A and B are shown apart, each in its own frame.
Chain A
């Protein structure tokens, strides 16, 4: 079945550092890809998405490009802030009922 693999955490960075969180997927067909973020004590919220190959999703300075040839959707940000500390989930959705398959999540800790 479909699956998502993302890098283990926690990822610990200093403020203004460059961030990469790796995500790869296995899927039949042509899934849509997502990054969701969970801030402490809250539910998940959509950060960005891409629906087809070579699409780039972006939001709040974060970016990810749908790479079909490498089955990847890595999350990047050029300069992280303390307020970016959260857990980040990579996910894909099927083309049927659009249920999500999630990776295990990567905790990001940003220090001043």
Chain B
């Protein structure tokens, strides 16, 4: 059974903390993505990666960075968490050949207090 797993389902952090969200896929996908989901706004792309050590900014990269040292793992880093980063974070992966057919993880609900 193919899977995208995320390190935590729920996370509570304090303002100013450095936060790491981890995502692992077991499908040998080239592409990996981090989206943020907020009510009334749908999903918005933060960063994506199309190969190991490669990364591209999405629509809302400010306050975030990413790391992809291995093909199966894509990490999202909040350098200094702020309350406006309280949200649901969804990781996804896909083959480059399948044009948008994403497999999503279950999400991490992050609360910054």
Complex-state Cα separation, A98 to B95, whole angstroms: 9
Q: In the complex, which residues of chain B have a beta carbon less than 8 angstroms from the beta carbon of A93? A: 99-100
Q: What is the number of residues of chain A that contact chain B, defined by CB distance less than 8 Å? A: 26
Interface residues of A (CB under 8 A from B): 4, 32, 34, 36, 41-46, 49, 51, 89, 91-93, 95, 97-105
Quick check: which of B11-19, B39-47, B71-79 contacts chain A, the rest being far away? B39-47
Q: In the complex, which residues of chain B have a beta carbon less than 8 angstroms from the beta carbon of A92? A: 100
The answer to whether A43 touches B106, judged by C-beta atoms less than 8 angstroms apart, is: yes
Closest residue of chain B to A33 (Cβ to Cβ) is B100
- Other contacts beyond A44-B43, A98-B100: 9, CB < 8 A: A51-B99, A93-B99, A99-B33, A99-B45, A100-B35, A100-B45, A101-B45, A103-B42, A105-B42
Q: In the complex, which residues of chain B have a beta carbon less than 8 angstroms from the beta carbon of A91? A: 100
Indicate the size class of the contact surface on chain B.
20 to 34
Q: In the complex, which residues of chain A have a beta carbon less than 8 angstroms from the beta carbon of B50? A: 97
The listed residue (A36, A98, A105) touching B31 by CB distance below 8 A is: A98
The verdict on B56 contacting chain A, using a C-beta distance below 8 Å, is yes
Quote the shortest CB–CB distance from B61 to chain A (angstroms). Answer: 13
Q: How many A-B residue pairs have CB under 8 A?
A: 67
The answer to whether A43 touches B99, judged by C-beta atoms less than 8 angstroms apart, is: no
The answer to whether A44 touches B90, judged by C-beta atoms less than 8 angstroms apart, is: yes
The answer to whether A98 touches B96, judged by C-beta atoms less than 8 angstroms apart, is: yes
The listed residue (B4, B40, B58) touching A99 by CB distance below 8 A is: B58
Interface residues of B (CB under 8 A from A): 4, 31, 33, 35, 40-45, 48, 50, 56, 58, 90, 92, 94, 96, 98-102, 104-107
The answer to whether A104 touches B33, judged by C-beta atoms less than 8 angstroms apart, is: no
Q: In the complex, which residues of chain A have a beta carbon less than 8 angstroms from the beta carbon of B99? A: 32, 51, 93, 95, 98
The answer to whether A43 touches B43, judged by C-beta atoms less than 8 angstroms apart, is: no
Quote the shortest CB–CB distance from A20 to chain B (angstroms). Answer: 19
Complex-state Cα separation, A89 to B38, whole angstroms: 13
The answer to whether B90 touches A100, judged by C-beta atoms less than 8 angstroms apart, is: no
The answer to whether A98 touches B104, judged by C-beta atoms less than 8 angstroms apart, is: no
